[in-house]
Chain A
Amino acid sequence: MQLDSSNIKLIETHQLGKTVPTSNGPLHILTGIHLSINAGESLAIIGASGSGKSTLLGLLAGLDTPSHGEILIQQHPFSTLDEDGRAKLRNQLMGFVFQSFQLLPSLTALENVMLPLELSGNPDAKRLASNLLDRVKLGNRLSHTPKQLSGGEQQRVALARAFVTQPKILFADEPTGNLDSKTGAHIIELLFELNQEHLTTLILVTHDSILANRCQRRITLDSGILV
Chain B
Amino acid sequence: MTKLLLALRMLKRDYRSGELTILLLALIIAVTSSSTISLFADRLQRTMTDQASEFLAADLVITSPALIPAEWLQQAEQLGLLHSQSVEFSSVLIENDQLLLAGIKAVSNQYPLRGHLKTIQTDYTTEQTYHHGPAANTVWVEKRILSALGFKLGDTLHVGEKALLISELLTYEPDKRGDLYSLSPRVMMNDQDLAATQIIQPGSHIHYFFHFAGETKALTQFKASIKAHLNPSQRIMDIHEDRPEVGSAITRAERYLGLSSILVILIAGVAIAMSTRRYTERHFDTTAILRCLGCTEREIIVLFSYQILLIGLFACVIGCLIGWFAQTLLLSLLQNLLPAKIAAPSLLALLLGFLTGMIILISFTLPPLLSLKKVPALRVLRRELQPPPASAWFVYGLSASMICLLIWRYTNDISLTGTIIGSGFVCLLILNQLVKMLFTLLKTQLPHYSLYWRLSLQNLIQERHTSIAQILAFSITLTAMILTFTVKTDMVDAWKQQLPENAPNNFALNISEDQLSATQLDLAALTGTSSAFYPVVSGRLVRINDQPVHQRVSKESRGNEAIERDLSLTWAENLPANNLLMAGAWWNSDTQNAVSVEQKLAENLGIKLGDILTFTVGSEQFTAQVSSFRKVDWETMQPNFYMILTPSTLASFPHTYMTSFYLAADKKNHFNQFLKKYSNVMILEVDLILAQFKMILAQITEAMNYLFYLAFAAGFTVLFAAIYSTLDQRIYKGALMRTLGANRRLLNTIHLFEYALLGLLSGLLAIVLSEVVLFCLYRYALHLEYRVNFLIWLIVPLCATGMISLTGFFALRRVTEQAPLQVLQQL
Contacts and interface: CB of A to CB of B under 8 A. Distances in A.
Interface of A: 54, 57-58, 61-64, 83-84, 87-92, 94, 96, 98, 100, 102, 104-108, 111, 115-116, 118-121, 145, 147, 173
Contacts of B292: 61, 63, 90, 96, 102
Given A111-B9, A119-B299, 20 more contacts: A63-B378, A87-B296, A87-B297, A90-B293, A90-B294, A91-B295, A96-B380, A102-B288, A102-B289, A102-B380, A104-B285, A106-B13, A106-B16, A106-B286, A108-B13, A115-B289, A116-B294, A119-B294, A119-B295, A121-B2
Contacts of B17: 105-107, 145
Given A102-B380, A121-B2, A87 B289 contact: no
A61 B289 CA distance: 13
B291 interface: yes
B293 A84 contact: no
B194 interface: no
B16 A87 contact: no
Contact of B290 (A111, A119, A173): A119
Contacts of B296: 83-84, 87-88
Nearest to B296: A84
Interface residues on B, range: 20 to 34
A114 B14 CA distance: 15
17 contacts: A61-B292, A63-B292, A83-B291, A83-B297, A88-B294, A90-B293, A94-B294, A96-B380, A98-B380, A98-B381, A100-B383, A102-B285, A104-B289, A106-B286, A116-B294, A119-B293, A121-B2
Contacts of B297: 83-84, 87
Interface string B1-44: 01000100100011011010000000000000000000000000
A198 to B, nearest CB: 17
B825 interface: yes
A13 to B, nearest CB: 17
Interface in B797-827: 825-826
Contact of A87 (B19, B377, B380): B377
Interface string B270-304: 00000000000000011011111111111100000
B6 A119 contact: yes
Nearest to A99: B381
Contact of A92 (B13, B14, B294): B294
A37 B298 CA distance: 32
A118 B11 CA distance: 14
Nearest to B826: A147
A204 B376 CA distance: 21
A92 B293 CA distance: 9
A91 B381 contact: no
A57 B381 contact: yes
Contact of A115 (B2, B291, B293, B380): B293
B645 to A, nearest CB: 82
B105 to A, nearest CB: 74
A106 B19 contact: yes
Given A100-B383, A147-B825, A87 B6 contact: no
Given A90-B292, A90-B293, A90-B294, A106 B378 contact: no
B295 A111 contact: no
A128 B377 CA distance: 25
A120 B294 contact: yes
A106 B14 contact: yes
A107 B10 CA distance: 8
B13 A111 contact: yes
Contacts of A116: 293-294
A88 B295 CA distance: 7
A56 B824 CA distance: 31
Top 3 A-B residue pairs of the complex, sorted by shortest distance between their CB atoms: A91-B294, A106-B17, A84-B296
Contacts of B289: 102, 104, 115
Nearest to A106: B17
Given A105-B17, A106-B19, A145-B17, A64 B383 contact: no
A83 B298 CA distance: 11
Contacts of B294: 87-92, 94, 116, 119-120
A87 B295 contact: yes
A148 to B, nearest CB: 10
Nearest to B286: A104
Contacts of A91: 293-295
A222 to B, nearest CB: 20
A54 B19 CA distance: 31
Contacts of A102: 285, 288-289, 292, 380
A134 to B, nearest CB: 21
Contacts of A57: 381
Given A63-B380, A121-B2, A87 B285 contact: no
Max chain B C-beta neighbours (<10 A), residue from A98, A104, A145: A104
A39 B286 CA distance: 30
Contacts of A98: 380-381
A102 B382 CA distance: 11
A100 B379 CA distance: 12
B1 to A, nearest CB: 10
A58 B381 contact: yes
A63 B385 CA distance: 12
Contacts of B13: 106-108, 111
A190 to B, nearest CB: 20
A57 to B, nearest CB: 7
A103 to B, nearest CB: 8
A64 B378 contact: yes
Interface string B348-383: 000000000000000000000000000011101111
A105 B298 CA distance: 24
Contacts of A96: 292-293, 380
Contacts of B380: 63, 96, 98, 102
A64 B826 CA distance: 31
Contacts of B16: 106
A107 B11 CA distance: 11
A173 B6 CA distance: 28
Max chain A C-beta neighbours (<10 A), residue from B9, B290, B378, B382: B378
Contacts of A54: 381-382
A207 to B, nearest CB: 15
A84 B383 CA distance: 21
Interface in B372-403: 376-378, 380-383
A120 B290 CA distance: 11
Nearest to A173: B381
B597 to A, nearest CB: 73
A94 B286 CA distance: 18
A212 B501 CA distance: 94
A210 B297 CA distance: 39
A58 B385 CA distance: 13
B2 to A, nearest CB: 5
A87 B378 contact: no
A145 B17 CA distance: 9
B166 to A, nearest CB: 82
Contacts of B9: 111, 118
Nearest to A98: B380
Nearest to B16: A106
Contacts of B825: 147
B292 to A, nearest CB: 6
B305 to A, nearest CB: 16
A63 B825 CA distance: 28
Nearest to B19: A106
Contacts of A106: 13-14, 16-17, 19, 286
A107 B289 CA distance: 13
B698 to A, nearest CB: 53
A108 to B, nearest CB: 8
Given A87-B296, A90-B292, A63 B285 contact: no
A84 B14 CA distance: 25
A15 B350 CA distance: 64
A44 B378 CA distance: 20
A120 B6 CA distance: 10
A100 B294 CA distance: 19
A104 B19 CA distance: 12
